[in-house]
Amino acid sequence: MLLKLIPAGASLLALTASCLILLGATAQAQQSVTIGDKEAFLHVPPNARASAVLVPGKGGIDPNDPLLRNRAALNARGIATLTVPHGTRLGQAIEYMRKVKEPVALIGVSAGVFFAATGVGRGAKPDTLVLISGSLMAPGKLPAQEALKTPTVLPPTLVMANRKDACDLTPVAAVEPFVAWTGGRATLQWIGGGGGGRDPCGPSSAHGFMGADAQVVDAIVQFIVR
């Protein structure tokens, strides 16, 4: 443990010093780094086993994002993470994380799926790709298939979706056809969660796999740690 029990009679100064140590460690947990012209946020746990570039949904880098609310859980499982905004040069982000810990996964959720797929379509080379609750094929908006153009660019890919997802931008009916289109490069895992949010495309809905966070984290870790 970082803090030790302070014996009775110990000075207030000792207690204050211990608290400052804890606060310092917490402050150092997140590092701001620059990837191209974008600010990204790095978290590296002790004894990291793999790395992941996290591409959030339409809300951007927001703690309510369904992927980012699980960032700490990924770190606790030994996954170093780099959270990037949309428009980041993902090839550069992946190469940055190779210097932190290999293998490196690229993970997109919701609207972030299109940006992750665009990065791969333009030459980014993660060791694995994870696409969660995303638009995969038409009639979805900005489908991953359109960004990838050909399945031959895909690394081993995990597609995660919720049959209860009612977001009209990410139709569940497109999930299995997309997996078939990849020609065996993608594995499909259906996830649970229901949520009670009013927005069917929001983080507190089935789209945001609310209530199934542990299942999603387990699946990610099992897939990307190789």
Residue 56 pLDDT grade (very low, low, confident, very high; cuts 50, 70, 90)? very high
* pLDDT of 11 higher than 70: no
* pLDDT of 83 higher than 90: yes
Residues 33-62 have a mean pLDDT of 94
Please tell me the total count of domains within the chain.
1
Query: For residue 222, what pLDDT is reported?
Result: 98
Rounded Cα distance, 107 and 116, in Å: 7
Rounded Cα distance, 114 and 164, in Å: 21
Residues 49-57 have a mean pLDDT of 97
* pLDDT of 28 higher than 70: no
ω into 139 cis (within 30 of 0): yes
Residue 139 lies in a domain: yes
pLDDT more than 70, % of the chain: 86
Residue 23 lies in a domain: no
Residue 118 lies in a domain: yes
* pLDDT of 3 higher than 90: no
110 closest CA partner among 43, 183, 165: 165
In single-letter form, the type of residue at position 225 comes to V
Domain that holds residue 190: 31-224
Residue 2 lies in a domain: no
CATH number of the domain that 169 lies in?
Answer: 3.40.50.1820
Residues 49-73 have a mean pLDDT of 92
Residue 24 lies in a domain: no
Rounded Cα distance, 68 and 112, in Å: 12
β pairing state of 79-83 and 186-190: unpaired
Model pLDDT for residues 109-122, shown as the tens digit of each residue: 999 999 999 999 99
CB 79 within 8 A of CB 221: yes
Query: Residues of 165-203 as b/e, b for ≥16 C-beta within 10 angstroms?
Result: bebebbbbebbeebbebbeeebeebebebebeeeebbbb
Residue 10 lies in a domain: no
DSSP 2-20: -S-PPPTT--HHHHHHHHH
Residue 195 pLDDT grade (very low, low, confident, very high; cuts 50, 70, 90)? low
Model pLDDT for residues 145-164, shown as the tens digit of each residue: 999 999 999 999 999 999 99
CB 174 within 8 A of CB 204: no
β pairing state of 157-161 and 79-83: unpaired
Residue 85 lies in a domain: yes
Our CA angle for 152, 156, 157, nearest 5°, is 95
Rounded Cα distance, 93 and 35, in Å: 6
Residue 9 lies in a domain: no
CB 100 within 8 A of CB 48: yes
DSSP SS3 for 80: strand
Residue 12 pLDDT grade (very low, low, confident, very high; cuts 50, 70, 90)? very low
Burial of 13: CB neighbours in 10 Å, binned 0-12, 13-18, 19+: exposed
Between 174 and 194, the more confident residue is: 174
Write the CA distances from 36 to 72, 96, 102, 180, integer angstroms: 25, 11, 21, 35
Residues 132-140 have a mean pLDDT of 92
Mean pLDDT check: name the lowest of 8-17, 85-94, 193-202: 8-17
